[in-house]
Chains A and B, each alone.
Chain A
Amino acid sequence: MKKFLLVCISFIALALCACTHLVLDSTERLQIKNMTDQEIARLSVVGKNDTVLWIPDTVLPGELSYVHEQDFVGTFYIIIQAKDSTGAWNIVDLGNIDFDGGSELLKISKKDGEWDHHFE
């Protein structure tokens, strides 16, 4: 009887909630860290028809952005804007990035003029 109740209760619990959030995150809470010596801003997801602004913050060199939550779990094409030495904002392609969901810190760096990124 106890077992039966347990099965029933767990089935009801399973039926009533969207359960995978217990083990898998369906949203991405993203924060970026600027490891370059340039100001970066406006991290966006590029679509065919429009671009979704994900992190609107302007991040100074060595600084962290605020955390922004979006429904992007999977693989997406990411661009950011970077301020060059003349003070103009340029678009930088970061390419396809895999987001596994949950809280992630994306570190953006620049080595020998090549933009690079990795998760901590």
Chain B
Amino acid sequence: MGILFWTLLFALSAHAGHLTVAGVSDGGAAIRDLQLREFGMVFHPGSNGYLGANLLYFPLPSQSQLTTEYGDHEGYILRQNFAGYFAESLGKSGWDLGVLWWIERHGWDSEDFLVFPNYGKFSLIRSVQTAGVSIARPQYNFGFAGGIQYTNPEYVGKVYEPETDTLYEWAAATFGPISAQTSFHHSSFRHARVTLNLESKKVLGGRDSGPLTYLPNIDVAVYDRNGEGEDSLRIFWEQNLIAQRLYAEVAVYFPDPALRFVALKYYPDPSKVVSIDVTCYRKPDGHLLWGGGLSMPFIRVAYNHADDIENVFGLRGTFVLQFHFGIEKIRDTFVGLNGSRSTPMMTREVDTDESVKKQRREQREKEFEESRRKSSTSSTSSSPHEITATGIVRENAK
């Protein structure tokens, strides 16, 4: 079985697509957009916060080859990110104040690394950070957020487009199901996004079934990728197909219609913590790349997944083993990123204080004694009533 697995692994990795220099160079812009997109997903008035962490691991150097003008280089990709958003109500004012920080470090290097890269001649290592503050009024369901994005190229090999430290500014607003965001570099416009989250979600105070949950979520973004007025458009459509458990996703890019994907995602629970995905990515030459993945609370395994192709430098034909975590807190419930219902959880009271424990135990014993005494006294005074019931015991699952 093991041999079969490894044979399959190597057979599939033999068809690995390569990283391109342009793909690695574009990674900074892609991640800046992803960070703002993720923040848009968790920024709801009334939300208490979000914690996310990812560490992507690409097991084989032959899978993450970099194609430069000289040839194909063997090396490794690193991608690790952390996201934190915390919001708290400001006394009794009715306003929520929040802070957020998204950080990602990624790159391609000739050696595998977690913290200190080798900085080979053909490496590129950079970090992208998004920080900001948010203010929201849950009562009227609106909020504003704003902050900065900072790209810090640690090392850029000479085969890449030269990069320097760059600061961007961004702002976002949300009102009911509509949200919008934009970002700037100095005075030049970088992107604008309008999101219509029409799907009714229980976790945000909506329905948990019915036709309103079948409304789509549409995300339209305009980018000025190179600062020269060459705009591109990205349209993303998320559609609930069956009971907020099966979703379809479609992404289209204009004017380059070659970059697009469709995905079918099955979430066994509507909290979207666990997912099983099948994706199909359309390459610029029209070829289709099929992929899939399995996400669990801490581990994600994927092969050729469209999300990875979009977010990891356009890397194709690779296995990804990922440490993965992402959970949002809305009021008293927890939910996965973009989930529609709270995660199923069990609550149990645990006493850690010894004196409280002792008190509770004594109380329980006293109650037990009393009930025994009562039953013994009642049996002597009058004949016991016995009730027999038959039927199905139904318990409401929470």
Contacts and interface: CB of A to CB of B under 8 A. Distances in A.
A52 B70 contact: yes
A24 B109 CA distance: 13
Interface string B71-112: 111111000000000000000000000000000000001111
Nearest to B120: A71
Given A14-B114, A15-B114, A17-B116, A74 B109 contact: no
A80 B116 CA distance: 36
Given A16-B116, A20-B76, A71-B121, A26 B70 contact: no
**Chain A interface, DSSP helix/strand/loop, else mixed:** mixed
Interface SS, B side: loop
A60 B82 CA distance: 57
Contacts of A46: 70
Nearest to B62: A74
A118 to B, nearest CB: 19
B72 A74 contact: yes
B61 interface: yes
Contacts of A21: 111, 118
A27 B118 CA distance: 11
A2 interface: no
A47 B112 contact: no
B252 to A, nearest CB: 32
Given A52-B70, A75-B71, A76-B70, A19 B115 contact: no
B308 to A, nearest CB: 21
A20 B112 contact: yes
B73 A72 contact: yes
Contacts of B111: 18-21, 24, 26
| Most chain A beta carbons < 10 A, residue from B61, B112, B118 | B112
Interface string A18-42: 1111001011000000000000000
A20 to B, nearest CB: 4
Interface in B102-146: 109-118, 120-122
B353 interface: no
Contacts of B121: 70-71
B69 A47 contact: yes
B192 to A, nearest CB: 36
Interface in A45-82: 45-49, 52, 70-77
Contacts of A75: 71-72
Interface in A61-120: 70-77, 96, 101
Contacts of A14: 114
B338 interface: no
Contacts of B68: 47
A74 B112 contact: no
A26 B117 CA distance: 12
Contact of A48 (B69, B109, B117, B120): B69
A97 to B, nearest CB: 9
B65 interface: yes
A47 B74 CA distance: 16
Contacts of A18: 109, 111-113, 116-118
Given A19-B112, A73-B110, A26 B71 contact: no
Contacts of B117: 18
Shortest Cβ-Cβ A-B pairs, 3 listed: A76-B71, A18-B111, A26-B110
Given A20-B112, A71-B73, A72-B71, 8 more contacts: A18-B109, A18-B116, A24-B61, A71-B120, A73-B75, A74-B74, A76-B70, A76-B71
Interface of A: 14-21, 24, 26-27, 45-49, 52, 70-77, 96, 101
